[in-house]
Amino acid sequence: MITSYKARISMPFLHNPSFNNVLRSDQMSSTSQMAPLAVLVFLVSTTLASGAASVRVGLTRIHSDPGIPASQLVRDALRRDMHRHRSRPGGRELAAAPDGGAATTVSARTRKDTPNGGEYLMTLSIGTPPVSYPAIADTGSDLIWTQCAPCGDQCFKQPAPLYNPASSTTFAVLPCNSSLSMCVGALAGAAPPPGCACMYNQTYGTGWTAGVQGSETFTFGSSPADQARIAGVAFGCSNASSNDWNGSAGLVGLGRGALSLVSQLGAGRFSYCLTPFQDTNSTSTLVLGPSAAIAGAGVRSTPFVASPAKAPMSTYYYLNLTGISLGATVLSISPNAFSLKADGTGGLIIDSGTTITSLANAAYQKIRAAVKALVTLPATDGLDSTGLDLCFALPSATSAPPAMPSMTLHFDGADMVLPAESYMISGSGVWCLAMRNQTDGAMSTLGNYQQQNMHILYDVRKETLSFAPAKCSTL
């Protein structure tokens, strides 16, 4: 998710009043008495019902109100990129199609949001009867979370009704000694106290959320014909949180860790195609499991770099970026600029939950200088309006930007070609480089702005990332 990659603090603790199948309101309320802390929802799936071999979920970008200029949308997204820290802390296999034929899939509708932009949402439902909620799809984290009732003054406003565990017939408290409990380590093999519930907290760069873990049924799909209900989902209800998640009601982790949706489903591979940044109408699709695939002459593949074993780096999908070209010019960037060091520093990850790509400063400055040399428009200070440090003044607010060559990211064995609209952004009379610098030695991130209109396949088992240009609104 959008982040400054500050250290995550996770503080689970045991709580042992009498818990039955439904968490009582006074017990849920007790978590709101804690200091600004955190809880992330764990999505821990059982085998999909009805022999489903894949999960298909709609994706859409969170969009701004039409009256909000694109420059402000970028500024808000960049602010979240820089300040919100994502949590990066085994799964069961997806069932094979019983007839050996095409994989069964389910789909879920998603919705646009106002007033903020910069992330992509997927929609899922929790409980019986199911309550639908939108959550940010994030390949840079593992955990899933949502707000739960009762949720008072310490909760943020969300665009969907709160899930209330007391209103669901399938809710249960997750035992403290469950392998999915954050408290299992604190028990050190000892038997948990009777009625033990794992209440925990997690802080972010500028945000926090807190609550208790439970188990519930999750539903994917927008209609009875394409729904899949998954029982035994271990998750955490947040009933105290900072106001830093506008436009969603939680987050879906798609990272490499054991608690991500990908790992819990044993999906093996997943794919998505992100619709253009300023397309306010289209949706695209996230597919998890055997049906996730891309084909064609334009498909390129690059291996993942082995992630460090230490959390949170163990969650990330690292890539080996060896160079960058602007048009036909290969920029003079050291091939080690994006290397992952033995101590876990450096490297470059691909992240659907971060908007603006950040690059090691030595590389960023080369790109910045090359772009500036090609543009004849007057430079203007766009830092306050956009948060981006290289902007140009267009003749008018409605003027089209001039033509620019494509930018090529040279990965190990594969080139990713970005058209100008995937590395430059215009709005409110300014035209800016949609990238920012990162301290040399810090981790670089390929954000979702650079991934727009790109069909991307993560093959976790083969340890490869494949991609091809696509018109994502038609997929």
Using CA atoms, how far residue 392 sits from 27, 363, 407, in Å, is 55, 21, 18
Q: Which of 76, 81, 113, 138 is catalytic?
A: 138
Q: Which of 76, 113, 351, 459 is catalytic?
A: 351
Which helix (H) or strand (E) segment holds residue 265: the answer is helix 261-265
> Coil, strand or helix: which one is 137?
strand
Distance from C-alpha of 83 to C-alpha of 67, rounded to nearest angstrom: 25
> Could you tell me the two tokens for 43?
């999505």
In the sheet with 329-330, reading across from the earlier edge strand, the strands are 329-330, 321-326, 407-411, 414-418
Buried b (16+ CB within 10 A) or exposed e, 341-362: eeeeebbbbbbbbbbbbbbbbb
> Could you tell me the two tokens for 132?
């639908």
Distance from C-alpha of 250 to C-alpha of 238, rounded to nearest angstrom: 9
User: What does residue 123 show for φ and ψ, rounded to 5 degrees?
Assistant: -115, 135
List, as one string, the DSSP characters of 166-178.
GG-TT-EEPBTTS
Distance from C-alpha of 216 to C-alpha of 21, rounded to nearest angstrom: 10
> For residue 87, which of 143, 155, 145, 147 has the smallest C-alpha distance?
143
> For residue 212, which of 191, 195, 188 has the smallest C-alpha distance?
195
Cα dihedral across residues 404, 329, 331, 451: positive or negative: positive
Is 138 a known active-site residue? yes
Active-site residue list: 138, 351
